[in-house]
Amino acid sequence: MAVRRLATIAPALAASLLLALPAARAARAPTAAEGLKIRADAHVFAAIYYRSTNPARIYVTRVRVSTVDGRFAAAHLTTSNKLIDQPIDVLLWHGVSEWAVITWGTEYLGCGLVRSAVRKDLFGTATCF
């Protein structure tokens, strides 16, 4: 009898515990319009960063918009010439009318510029040194 009661209570208990947990935040995919603008601005930055003398093709991938603060987004930049250039991540901010790259690198992006919750949302870690 006790086993049967436990079997009927356990699913209800598990469901109530799941509802009581705070919702996990995760960056979202950009809308079509956001994605075009973010990719275009990241590509302009990459053309300057990787220099026009490098004939490699530039790829903008993994574009995400923060769900904590929608004014911030992230993208990953690589080139077709992987022997020369290291891939980097960029942090973008949406100003009055455009997206702009505010920092770039391989780690610790946004430290001192954005809240730790935004860094964790976009890059999976809020660690700063």
111: helix, strand or coil: coil
Residue with the two structure tokens 């610790």: 108
Q: What are phi and psi of 92, to 5 degrees?
A: -115, 150
Q: Quote the pLDDT of residue 73.
A: 97
Q: Provide the percentage of residues in the chain whose pLDDT is more than 70.
A: 74
Both ends of the chain: CA-CA distance in Å?
A: 57
Out of 25-39, 44-58, 96-110, 115-129, least confident range:
44-58
11: helix, strand or coil: helix
Quote the tokens at residue 70. 């929608």
Q: Quote the pLDDT of residue 26.
A: 83
Mean pLDDT across 45-60? 79
Write the DSSP symbol of residue 61: E
The angle subtended at Cα 44 by Cα 46 and Cα 84, nearest 5°, is: 20
Residue 52 CB-half CA count within 13 A? 1
Q: What are the structural domains, with CATH classification, of the chain?
A: 25-123 (3.10.450)
Out of 27-36, 80-89, 94-103, least confident range:
80-89
Element (H, E) at 74: strand 72-79
Q: Quote the pLDDT of residue 57.
A: 83
Taking the CA atoms of 47, 85, 72 and 60 in sequence, report the sign of the dihedral they define: positive
Write the DSSP symbol of residue 34: H
Q: Quote the pLDDT of residue 8.
A: 56
Q: Quote the pLDDT of residue 56.
A: 76
